[in-house]
Structure 1
Amino acid sequence: MTNFNLDGKVALITGGCQGLGLEFSRALASAGANVVVTSRDERKAQASADAIRKETGRDTLGVVADVTDFAQIQAVVEQAVDTFGRLDILINNAGVNVRKPILEYDEQSWDLVQTTNLKAPFLCAKAVVPQMIKQKFGRIINIASMLGTVALPERSAYCSSKGGLIQLTKVMALEWAEHNITANAICPGPFATDMNQAVINNPDANQFFLNHLPVKRWGQPEELTGLMVYLASDLSSFMTGSAIVIDGGWTSE
């Protein structure tokens, strides 16, 4: 089990201050990694970094950044490397969803979802990978979705962005394998996060989801952390280009 130890590693988690991102940040720090978390909210970034540091004893850095802005991401990478000397793990977690029927979907909402969910991971990888190539080691973990493999009504932008992210992950895996850099995607199903509270609080919508879940419940964020630590660790060195679905059995139907 010592191979799961992330001592000496440094992880950057975009959107790492709430929901699944915060759970991922805590898990990686608990496994020994120093973590850099980003948010658009300075107080939230700092508070999350402080809380993770107190809980795990690891060094942390809370940074304000818009992950859709390449210059800002480059600045985050430079700050992380200046602070810790390296950057080993990139978790592309920041995401957004706007639910509307296609005929009511405005261009601004479409661009917001695509830019945040698909363009931002592309930009973050471009900023981080040159450092990983220097180190001859890297782990890229993209947070996609089961909706990158199956569809739901009123999620046209979200489904297409997450499907695109799965394909982008595969290209990353092919291009950077020779540098000892792996790229994999985690595809969560329905998890009880802030993003999904509107669905959970709607009795009809909630029941629709429960009817499609063989386990008859929503997932809890901590149920993703074992896979996260594995993909970030040395044990996953032969695994790249994969998209792993954790969805309570939804896509098994």
Structure 2
Amino acid sequence: MKLKLLILLLISGYSFSQVKKPDSLQLFFDSAKFSITDAHKTQLQSFFKDIKLDEVLQIRIKGYTDFIGNHVYNNKLSKKRAKATYIFVTNNYQFKAIAQQGLGELDEEIAEATIEGGNSKHRKVDLILSYEKPKEVSVSLTRKQRYLLQLPKLSIGEKLRIQHTNFHISTPNITNASKEDLEGIIKILKAYPKLKVLIEGHVCCGDKEEYESKIINPDNLALSTERAKNIYNTLIKKGIKANRLSYKGYGFTRPLDFPENTIAIQRENRRIELKVLRK
């Protein structure tokens, strides 16, 4: 009898230790809204009530929008949603580390695969809690390449803009100065063999109609796709397996800033981004 009781206690203790800690929460917003409502506050208070804050190593707050409105507006709106949530959380709770990020429009292919209910479910903030330090792999990078260490730390669906990759005007050919970035990407992908990415190409200097309608100009689509494909082919030639890579061009439908009244803004919009698909 005592032996049975001991076994039951051990099983109960094991089961209790295996209870999954709360690690995520979603807050949904009305169209074009970003303020934290009373309903949001109640939801947050209920979520944090039973969490031991000192066990949480980091909390990440990520804001999103749907596809209503232009890309620049949605980027700003997603940041406002993340910031409003960040302010409420930091004013009421103390965490070891907390980060906020606005990620703009939630990509349709990911949303449709994981969320039901249409665009109303894209207008949200995700709170993600981490209880353990992620495993880090030693990668030898130059100072210019070190920002690429962010890539394996991203969640699925998040993107990293390649900072130093430039192309010759109106061509898919990268400049010599861009090759150091590509060498760094290759090192990261080889060090993290489970990492799978989508290479996204964007161009600058499009017109207002393409930007607002999100109907891609065929020439801009072709150029942005060829630039992404060029990066894709280069990575494969350097030993990265094709089944870990894909590419897509977006023309001028997703500029980071508009209107493009400075050379700096044009350079920022003319970019390559890597989106994490698997890790």
Question: TM-score, normalised on structure 2?
Answer: 0.30
Larger Rg: 2
More helix by share: 1
Question: TM-score, normalised on structure 1?
Answer: 0.32
